[in-house]
Amino acid sequence: MRKLGRSDVEVPRLGMGTAPLGGWPQALDDDTAIATVRRAWELGVRYFDTAPLYGHGNSETRLAAVLGDEPREHFVLSTKVGRVLDPGATDETLFKDVPPLTPVFDFSRAGVERSLRESRERLGFDRIDVVLIHDPDDHHEQALAESFPVLDALRASGEIGAIGVGMNFSEPLARFATEAAFDCFLLAGRYTLLDQSSLDDLLPVCVERGMSIIAAGVYNSGILADPKPGANYNYTAAAPELVDRALAIKEVCDSFEVPLRAAAMRFPTFHPAVATVIVGARSPAEVEDNAALFSHEIPDELWTALRDRDLLRPDAPTP
């Protein structure tokens, strides 16, 4: 277990991301989603990350269907603010088979308060351990001026345990890290076997300021799960040179009889700023696979071989 920044919230090394429970990238029925969460619990998963956006509320309610039966002090739960769910269906969504609600960006004080109130209602818990400002890419100043003070006050009162920001890019997160007293940052896809660009900005700042990273997107949208022409990187088809690099990484992993996905899951954990890695699942079998991969034995020589082939930055920590 590792603490998130200077908060009292402790997270295990592996957590569960729940965007797939919301119907991404394919629709998912309630029974399968609930069975997935239940299997995760049986295997010892005790950190779950969700958001109102994920399935337009479905991810939160499906989590609640299982976690509501468990002792609240036995797990860590994070959700997000920055989008509210307004009545009315929309075709502009990544999620399938969702309720007739439309996510709308809202980083205002009132929007944050409403988002948290509605998340608590869907989850059925008064206390949420970690609250993250979600994707404030085009709303940096408002998130800092309005969202942060609300979360800061709730943290001070003990209503939430830790606060942070979740984004797909490291540079704006590095700015947030120097501008306010956040505990953690959910960083998706920018500290992986294929992309270590956050070593240039965010990760050094986090080490210096005692802030933590929740590492997500460790497969870079799919290319590190199954590298091949047409594989996704950052939610679009990967450029040929990225496919070639991912295939070269896989070749090294294969030479040590280590699954590429196992190496992709474990790599971020070696950095001192990274508190936990979250990986999604959409079936009990995927949960089981994730647990097995994360515990797969990886020889230190694999990381040396990647570095020797210039497939890993020299400043990326390894065992």
- Return the active site residues: 54
Hey, is 116 helix, strand or coil? helix
Helix (H) or strand (E) holding 241: helix 240-255
The separation between CA 43 and the C-alpha centre of its own chain, rounded to angstroms, equals 19
Neighbours of 88 (CB within 10 A): 8
Q: Which amino acid is at 148?
A: F
Burial call 98-130: b when 16+ CB within 10 Å, e when fewer? beebbbebbbbeebbeebbeebbebbebeebbb
Residue pair 165/132 in contact (Cβ under 8 Å)? The answer is yes
In this structure, the strands spanning 10-11 and 76-81 are unpaired
Residue pair 62/21 in contact (Cβ under 8 Å)? The answer is yes
Residue 201 DSSP symbol: T
Residue 239 DSSP symbol: P
Residue 163 has, within 13 A of its CA and on its CB side, a CA count of 25
Alpha helices by DSSP H, the chain: 30-42, 58-67, 109-123, 140-142, 148-157, 170-179, 202-209, 240-255, 260-266, 284-294, 300-308
Looking at the chain, how many residues does it have? 319
> Cα-atom radius of gyration of the chain, to the nearest Å?
19
Helix (H) or strand (E) holding 179: helix 170-179
Q: Which amino acid is at 205?
A: V
Torsion of CA 144, 278, 219, 25, to 10 degrees: -80
Tokens of 40: 């995760």
